Amino acid sequence: MWPGHPASGSPGEGRRVLILGDSLTRESRVQTARLLRSRGWTPTFRCWGSKRLDWGLQQVARARQLDQLPGVVVIGLGTNDISWETTATTERRVRTLLDRLGPRREVLWIDLDVDHSAFTRSRAGWFNRFIRSIAATRPNVSVIEWEKAARSRGAWRRDGIHYGESGYRLRAQVVAEAVDRAAPRPSPESTPSPIPSAPVESAPASADPTG
| Angle subtended by helix axes 87-101 and 118-137, to nearest 10 | 30
- Region 126-145: mean pLDDT is 98
pLDDT tens figures, 24-41: 999 999 999 999 999 999
Map out the domains of the chain as residue ranges.
Answer: 16-186+194-202
- Region 140-144: mean pLDDT is 98
9 pLDDT higher than 50: no
Q: Which fold has domain 16-186+194-202?
A: Rossmann fold (3.40.50)
- Residue 69 CA to its chain's centroid (Å): 14
Give me the pLDDT at residue 189, please: 40
Cα(194)–Cα(165) distance, integer angstroms: 33
pLDDT tens figures, 82-129: 999 999 999 999 999 999 999 999 999 999 999 989 999 999 999 999
User: Per-residue confidence at 10, pLDDT binned at 50, 70, 90?
Assistant: low
**What is the radius of gyration, based on Cα positions, of the chain?**
16
Percent of the chain with pLDDT over 90: 76
- Averaged pLDDT score across all residues of the chain: 86
How many CB atoms lie under 10 A from the CB of residue 169? 17
